[in-house]
Amino acid sequence: MQELWQQSVNWDEPLEQQMRDIATDLQNATVTTLTRRYFPSESNSDDHTTHLHIFADASMKAYGAVVYICDDNNASFVIAKTRVAPIKPLTLPQLELMAALVAARLGKFVLDSLGNHYNISLHLWSDSQIVLHWLNSGKKLKQFVAHHIQEISLTFPATLWHYCPTGDNPADLVTRGTTSAALSSSLWTNGPSWLTDESKWPQWNPSVLTLHLQTDIEEETDHLVPTEPPELTTGIHKIIEISRYSSLTKLLRITSYVLRFITNLRNPTDKQAGTLSVSELSTAEFKWILNCQQLQFPSEIQYLKSGVHNKKRPVLVRQLQLFLDDEGYLRCGGRIHNAPVSRTTKFPYLLPPRHTMTNLIVQAAHITQLHGGVNRTVTAPGLYQHADVSGVFSKPVYHAGRRVETPT
């Protein structure tokens, strides 16, 4: 049906033979019979355990789950749920994860329906080792994966999930399509042959990871987003606590006095004194910009410094065409490199989002423009400029790929 919609077939157009065969097979499927006696032993004592098994699987066309109840040596089909894969292309691991979510929801529905009348042991099965690793991972995952993993984990813990070989997974029939005749097979009506014998259940060690699986996980999770950037052991942030200042001017003046004090200690015969110069304030400003970049973009800086570009480029390097200038600052590339403007205007510095230094720079520009709009704020010149750094902030300063915005 999805393919028919994608082909924009009109209601009065003749269907292909394959579609007519499916329609005929649907008529035969209406006479399929299934055993609905789930508890033939009729035992509901406290020491008697009934096993509930939910299998999940996915293909590029559909994903779903199927539930079985095992009582003594009898396994019976209970319910199945299948969904067509979205038209927007998704990777197979993502579809397998969506199938696992359907399995968790379906298992909760069956448990709620049975109530507290039986002592039930729940088991969930998937033939995707990537999904099982996600469920047992403590690392920060991509938003799509993390969102689904969170709901699955809140429904049932990861310890209830097991690995099932693809050939023994009855949910495979749900996702790849089958005929009405196959619905009477033992795999569909009673599950895999080992289901009633716990000693024959497939075993899987989550600590063992093959090279092929490792590659799949890295591609799907984009190398896993690091939770926190590595902390610098040295830097201006170790001397001055930037969060204590609500004004860029005050921060830079304090920083300039600290830097002057350090310089005077190193050169006692040539001490600096008097009013702070524009050069000193500009140096303080660039000290903080460099510090912000080193703290927030360590992987990008390391990649650019290494010079080995045969490995995967960080996202920001690729999107913003980042490069390191002669002083070691991260700059954004652009399409105005031939424009008759200063080099800093052509290639603005990269600042991190939600960083105090970024907020202070935007706030200072906003105030100097008499609380003007966004356009006036992002095109405001820098506070402290000299011949070498003129126009530092005459073009928008980017932070994490987005233009800075006027503070509210």
SS3 80: strand
Q: What percent of the chain has pLDDT over 90?
A: 21
Query: For 374-392, what is each residue's pLDDT tens digit?
Result: 777 777 766 554 323 333 3
CA distance 43 to 249: 79
Domain annotation for the chain: domains and CATH numbers: 2-221 (3.30.420), 236-403 (no CATH)
Mapped to the 3 state alphabet, what secondary structure does 285-332 carry? HHHHHHHHHHHHCHHHHHHHHHCCCCCCCCHHHHHHCCEECCCCCEEC
Q: Which amino acid does the sequence have at 7?
A: Q
Give mean pLDDT, residues 89-96.
90
Query: For 19-45, what is each residue's pLDDT tens digit?
Result: 888 888 888 888 878 777 777 665 555
Determine phi and psi for 273, rounding to 5 degrees: -155, 175
Instruction: Give the chain's end-to-end CA distance (angstroms, integer).
Output: 50
pLDDT of 383? 54
Would you say residue 216 has pLDDT above 60? no
pLDDT of 217? 44
Query: For 283-309, what is each residue's pLDDT tens digit?
Result: 999 899 998 888 888 888 888 888 766
Give the contacts of 8 (CB within 8 A, at least 6 positions apart): none
